[in-house]
């Protein structure tokens, strides 16, 4: 750990300590109750501002709106300065905790969206594969349908031609039958006379 004093603040009140962000996050979880033995504030660059305070020091809500420049430290006893620095450190710690929490929430939401994207991509690939299979099947069905429709048309034409010929045969048979009946009647009359 690297320690150095900062300006007019006593060394025991303000230290700069470089630690990984995960260490800060663990300490922040332990100190969420509002009681601070040692307040540790993490910046995004992993530079931690640490202020040592007495045990059972509680945050004051007014400290969140307090401007450090408006309260100079001259004329104040060292212990009071230490308490003020601890309170300001607690405020910064709270802001940092919120910032870390927001970043973690954003990462969780990003991962959820990423999972949905992966699922959609899998669905898309499956649908594209199914679409390719269905397109090939549709092409084969269209070819088969075309051949069968052509065969059906040929059947229709043959049936029509056969029915037309059959009707002609029926008409001829009927005519022949009338002729035969007439001739039979005539022959019968001639025989009787």
Residue-by-residue DSSP string for the chain: ------TTS-TTT-EEEE--HHHHHHHHHHTTTSEEEEEEEE-TTSEEEEEEEEEEEE--GGGGG--GGGS--TTS-HHHHHHHHHHHHHHHHHHHHHHHHHHHHHHHHHHHHHHHHHHHHHHHHHHHHHHHHHHHHHHHHHHHHHHHHHHHHHHHHHHHHHHHHHHHHHHHHHHHHHHHHHHHHHHHHHHH-
Average the pLDDT over 141-167 and give the result: 97
Q: What does the pLDDT look like over 87-121, one tens digit per residue? A: 888 888 889 999 999 999 999 999 999 999 999 99
Tell me what pLDDT residue 83 has: 78
> What whole-number percentage of the chain has pLDDT above 90?
42
Tell me what pLDDT residue 121 has: 97
Candidates 50, 52, 3; CA nearest to 23 is: 50
Residue 74 has pLDDT above 90, yes or no: no
> Per-residue b/e over 126-163, b at no fewer than 16 CB within 10 Å?
eeeeeeeeeeeeeeeeeeeeeeeeeeeeeeeeeeeeee
Q: 31-40, 70-79, 123-132 — which one is most confidently predicted on average?
A: 123-132
Q: Give domain limits for the chain.
A: 15-115
Average the pLDDT over 71-82 and give the result: 60
Question: For all residues of the chain together, what is the average pLDDT?
Answer: 72
Residue 14 has pLDDT above 50, yes or no: no
Residue 133 has pLDDT above 90, yes or no: yes
Interhelix angle for 21-30 vs 78-192, to 10°? 100
Greater confidence (191 vs 35) lies with 191
Greater confidence (76 vs 190) lies with 190
Residue 59 has pLDDT above 50, yes or no: no
Q: Could you count the other beta carbons within 10 Å of the beta carbon of residue 183?
A: 10
For the four alpha carbons of 67, 43, 58 and 61, in that order, the dihedral sign comes to positive
Average the pLDDT over 135-154 and give the result: 97
* pTM more than 0.95: no
């Amino acid at each position: 750990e690297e320690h150095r004093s900062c300006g007019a603040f006593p060394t025991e009140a303000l230290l700069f300590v470089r630690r990984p962000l995960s260490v800060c996050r663990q300490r922040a979880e332990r100190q969420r109750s509002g009681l601070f033995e040692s307040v540790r504030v993490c910046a995004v660059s992993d530079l931690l501002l640490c202020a040592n305070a007495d045990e059972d020091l509680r945050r004051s809500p007014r400290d969140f709106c307090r401007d450090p420049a408006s309260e100079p430290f001259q004329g104040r006893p060292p212990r009071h300065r230490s308490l003020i620095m601890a309170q300001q450190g607690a405020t910064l710690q709270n802001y940092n905790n919120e910032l870390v929490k927001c970043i973690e929430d954003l990462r969780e939401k990003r991962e959820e969206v990423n999972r949905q994207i992966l699922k959609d991509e899998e669905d898309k690939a499956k649908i594209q594969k199914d679409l390719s299979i269905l397109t090939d099947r549709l092409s084969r069905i269209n070819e088969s349908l075309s051949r069968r429709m052509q065969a059906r048309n040929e059947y229709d034409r043959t049936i029509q031609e056969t029915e037309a010929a059959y009707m002609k045969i029926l008409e001829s048979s009927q005519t022949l039958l009338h002729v035969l009946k007439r001739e039979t009647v005539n022959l019968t009359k001639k025989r009787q006379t």
